Amino acid sequence: MKNWRNHLGLLVPLLVVAGMVLWPVATGNLSNRENSFTILKAIALASSLNILLGYTGYVSFGHIVFYGFGGYVGLYFVNEQGWSIWAGILVGGISSGLLAFLLGKAILRLRGAYFALATIGINEAMKAFVNNFDLFGGPIGMTLNFSVYRAYGGAAEALRLSFYIMAGLTFAALILSHLVRTSKFGLGLQAIRENEDAAEVMGVVAPDAKTWAYVLSAIIPGMVGVLFFFKNGNVEPHVAFPLHASIELLVMVMLGGQGTVLGPIIGAFAYQGMRGFLVTSPIFKDIQLSVSGVVLLLIVLFIPAGAIGWLRQRIPSLRRVLA
Amino acid sequence: MKGKIVKLLTLLMVASLFLAACGGGATEAPAPAEPAEPAAPAEPAETEASEEPAQPAMEEQTVVIGFTSSLTGSQEVSSKRQVNGFNLWMEQVNEAGGVTLSDGTVVKFEAHTYDDESNAERVQELYTRLITEDNADFLISPYSSGLTSAASIVAEQNGKVMITTGAADDDTYKTGNTSLFQLYTPASLYMSSTVDMLKELDPEAKIALVHESDKFSTSVAEGIKPYLEANNFEIVLEEGYASDTADFGPIVNKISGSGATVLLGGGHYNDGTALARAIYDRNIGLKFVYLLVAPADTKFPELGDAALGVATSSQWELAATHNEAEASNLGVEWFGPSGEEFATAYEAAYGDPPTYHVAGGYAAGLVLQKAIIDADSVDPEAVKAALNAMDIMTFYGGTKFDTSEEAHGLQIAHKMVVAQWQKNEAGEFERVIIAPADVATADPLYAPSAP
C-alpha cells in the first residue's frame, strides 16, 4: 500500500493522460479525437522540453528543431524509401537524439542567455539547411502519397492509428520524465539547475549530464515530428521549424510548473485546450489571439510559479501527489 | 499593499483591453461571414433548376459548406478576399431562392468557418470539427497548398468533396486523392503566358528567377524552368529568399550583378511589395519585372511609382473576363453571372474592385452550385460524379478537372492572363491586360532594348 503511494508522482500523470486518451474512444467522436491528438502532442513535446528546462534549468528557445529534423528524416524514409511508420518513428527519434548529442557537445558549454540565443540560431540554421536540401524536397517539402496510407487500411485507419501511436509516445515521454526526475542522474541535473559550479564540486560531471539531458529531451520530439507529418500528409520547412511553437512549449512548461512531471501536462492541457476552445467558439473565434494573450498575461502575473507550484504552496497535503 | 495595487491596476488594464478587443470583434467579425447586403445586387447567378416552372416546394434543405480561412497570419490579405467572394455568392444564391431540385427540394446554403491562423497545426482538427460537429456537407480548401494537403486527408477520410481555391501547387493533387477539385491554374503553368509574351517581345532576354522559398513560389519557378530553356532563354540567376525577408538590398545586388534584363519571381503580398520597392529604389535597369500574387492586389499601387510596369499572372481580370460568346465558340456550357455583374455586386458590397482571389472564392461556390444542379442531388457521391464530368465556362474561366488517378482534381481548362500596372492618361494607376494577345487591353510596358 505504501509502495503504491510512493509512485503517486507517476500514477497521477499517467491517469490524467489515460483519461485524455479514453475520452475520444468513449465518446466515439472524431472531433474529440483530433482535439485530444493536439493536446497529447503538446504534452509529449512539453514533457520532453521539461527534462532540459525544468530539471536542468537550461532554457531552449529552439527545441522545436528536434521535432522538425526528426520528422523530416523519418518522413523521408516512410515516403521516399517505403519504410513503415514504426521504422520511420524509430529513425526519427534516433536522428534527433544524435543531433542533440552533437549540438550538446558544442553549445552546452554556454550558459544562460548565451545558450538560449544559440538554440534559436540552430533552429533557424536547420530551417535554412533543409530549405536548400534537395533530398528533402527543398522549399517545396515532401507530400505524402495516399497510397502510403493503404498499408494501414486507408486514410481513416491511418489517422486512427496515428492517434494511438501519439498516445503511446505521450506515455513514453511521461515515464521518461519520471525516471529522469527520480534517478541519481536527475538529481545531478537538479543540482546543476540550482548551482552548476557547486554541482561540479560535488562530483556531478556537468558537461556529460547536460548533454545526456539534451539527448533525452530530443528523442521524443523527433518521433512526434514523424508521426505528425505522416498524419498531416506533407511537410514544409516553415511547418517543421516554427520558432513560435518553441516559445509556446516554454509557455506550457512554465504555465503548469517546470521541474515536475505533472506540470507540463497541466500547462499543455490548459494552453492547447484554451486555444482549441477559443478558435472554435462562436463568441471568441474572431478575437481568439487577443483573448489567449490576455489570459496568458494574467496567469504569468498572478501565478508565476505555475499551476503545480501554486497548488503545492497552498495545499501542503498535495505535495506528494503533485510531483 | 503597493504590490496589490499594481496587480489590481494591471488587472483593470487587461480587462479594459479585453473588453475593447471584444467590442472590436463584435463590429468587425461579422463582415467576412455576412457581407453587407449589396446596394445594387447583380442579377442573381443563373440557377437552371430555379428557372423551371414553379412547383410547390416540397421541402427546404440547408447545405452546410465548411472551410477554414486565414483571418490571421501570413496569408491574411488574400484569404480574406477569397472569403468575401464566397460569401457574396452565397448571399446571392440564397436571395435568389436557392437551387431547386427536380423533386421540388429547395437547397439553400450556409457557411461554417474557423480561423486556421495560416498554421498547419490545427487544420485537420478544424476540418474534422467542420464535418463531425458542424455537419458540413461540402468543403472549400484553406488558402495555401500545404494547408490544403493536410485538409484533403480529412476530406478523403470522410468522403467529402473539397473545392480548392488558393491551392495551386501541383503536388497537392498527385497524392491519389479522389475528393479534390482545383479551380486555379496549377502553379507549374503560372508563368507560361508571360514566357510566350517574352518570346515575341525580346527573345534575347536574360532571365533572373528570384522567388520566395516556399512551396507555391518554388513550384512556379521550378515549373517554368523547362519552358524557359526550351525557348532558349538564358537563366542568369536563380535565387530563393526566405518568406520573411524584408531587406532585399543583397538580392537586388545579385540581380544587378547577374546581367539579367528580366526578373521573374516574387512570392506573396508582403515580400512582393518589398521586392518591388527595392528594385525601384536601386533602379538596376531591368526591362521587365514580373512578380507573383502581390501586383494582383488592388493595394499594390500604394507603392507609388515602384508599382509602375510591374506585371503578374492573374487567374481573373475584369478587363479580360470570360463571357458567353467565348463559351459558345469553344462549344462548352456557360454558367453564372457575367464578370461585370459580379464586379458591380462585389464593389457595392465591399467597396473595392474585385481581385482574382475574390473571383476564385465566388467561383468556388458557383462551381459547387452547378455540380448540385447537374447531379440533381446534394449526395456527395453524385456531386463528385458531376464535378468529374464537368466542362463549363463561367466569368472566371474554363472549369474542367483531371480525372486520372495520378492527378485527380487538377485544373486543366482554366487559363491565366498577364496583367501589368500602367498609368492612364490622367496619371492614375490601372491594371491592364498585356497577354495573351487575343484578350490584351494594352501594349506591354517594356523598356527598349539597349543599343
Would you tell me which residues 228-287 of chain A have a C-beta closer than 8 angstroms to some C-beta of chain B?
Answer: 231-234, 236-239, 242, 245, 275-276, 279-280, 284-287
Distance from the Cα of residue A295 to its chain's centroid: 22
User: In 10 A of CB B203, how many CB atoms?
Assistant: 10
Q: Distance between CA atoms of B304 and B69, rounded to whole angstroms? A: 30
pLDDT at A320: 67
Is the pTM above the cut of 0.95? no
pLDDT at A78: 95
pLDDT at B51: 45
Chain A residue with Cα closest to B132: A31
List, for chain A, all residue ranges whose pLDDT scores fall below the cut of 50: none
Confidence of residue B20 (pLDDT cuts 50, 70, 90): very low
Give per-residue pLDDT as tens, A272-281: 888 888 887 8
Q: Distance between CA atoms of B90 and B41, rounded to whole angstroms? A: 13
Domains of chain B, residue spans: 35-185+319-400, 189-314+416-439
More confident: B5 or B99: B99
pLDDT of B21 above 80 = no
The per-residue pLDDT of chain B, averaged, comes to 85
Chain B residue with Cα closest to A160: B157
pLDDT average, residue stretch B302-320: 93
pLDDT of B336 above 90 = yes
Q: Distance between CA atoms of B303 and B273, rounded to whole angstroms? A: 7
B117 CB neighbours in chain A (<8 A) are 279, 289
Give per-residue pLDDT as tens, A231-265: 999 899 988 998 888 888 988 998 888 888 999 99
B175 Cβ under 8 Å from any chain A Cβ: yes
A140 Cβ under 8 Å from any chain B Cβ: yes
Whole-number percent of chain B with pLDDT over 90: 66
Which cell numbers in the block locate residue B91? 448571399
Consecutive H or E run containing B310: strand B310-314
Confidence of residue B157 (pLDDT cuts 50, 70, 90): confident
Chain B residue with Cα closest to A156: B157
* Residues B345 and B42 sit within 8 Å (Cβ to Cβ): yes
More confident: B242 or B106: B106
B176 CB neighbours in chain A (<8 A) are 145-147
Confidence of residue B72 (pLDDT cuts 50, 70, 90): low
Does the B189-314+416-439 domain belong in CATH 3.40.50.300?
Answer: no
Domains of chain A, earliest start first:
2-318 (1.10.3470)
Of the listed ranges A180-194, A206-220, B27-41, B414-428, the one predicted with least confidence:
B27-41
> Which DSSP category does B46 fall into?
P
- Closest to A147 in 3D by CA, of A62, A238, A233: A233
pLDDT at B144: 82
B23 Cβ under 8 Å from any chain A Cβ: no
Which cell numbers in the block locate residue B42? 447583380
Is it true that B35-185+319-400 and B189-314+416-439 share their CATH fold?
A: yes
Give per-residue pLDDT as tens, A65-104: 999 999 999 999 999 999 999 999 999 999 999 999 999 9
pLDDT at A321: 67
Q: Distance between CA atoms of B185 and B418, rounded to whole angstroms? A: 13
Would you tell me which residues 97-116 of chain A have a C-beta closer than 8 angstroms to some C-beta of chain B?
Answer: none
* Residues B354 and B85 sit within 8 Å (Cβ to Cβ): yes
A246 CB neighbours in chain B (<8 A) are none
Of the listed ranges A175-189, A244-258, B252-266, B334-348, the one predicted with least confidence:
A244-258
> Which DSSP category does A98 fall into?
H
Mutate one of B122, B160, B244 to test the A interface: name it (highest A CB count within 10 A). B122
pLDDT of B9 above 70 = no
* Residues B94 and B365 sit within 8 Å (Cβ to Cβ): no
Which cell numbers in the block locate residue B275? 521586392
pLDDT at B10: 53
A40 CB neighbours in chain B (<8 A) are none
Sign of CA dihedral B246, B249, B252, B253: negative
pLDDT at B4: 59
CATH topology for B35-185+319-400 is Rossmann fold (3.40.50)
Q: Distance between CA atoms of B132 and B158, rounded to whole angstroms? A: 9
Rg (CA), chain B: 23
Q: Distance between CA atoms of A127 and A242, rounded to whole angstroms? A: 9
Report cis status (omega within 30 of 0) of the bond before B436: yes
Which cell numbers in the block locate residue B211? 522567388
* Residues B300 and B273 sit within 8 Å (Cβ to Cβ): yes
Predicted ipTM of the assembly: 0.81
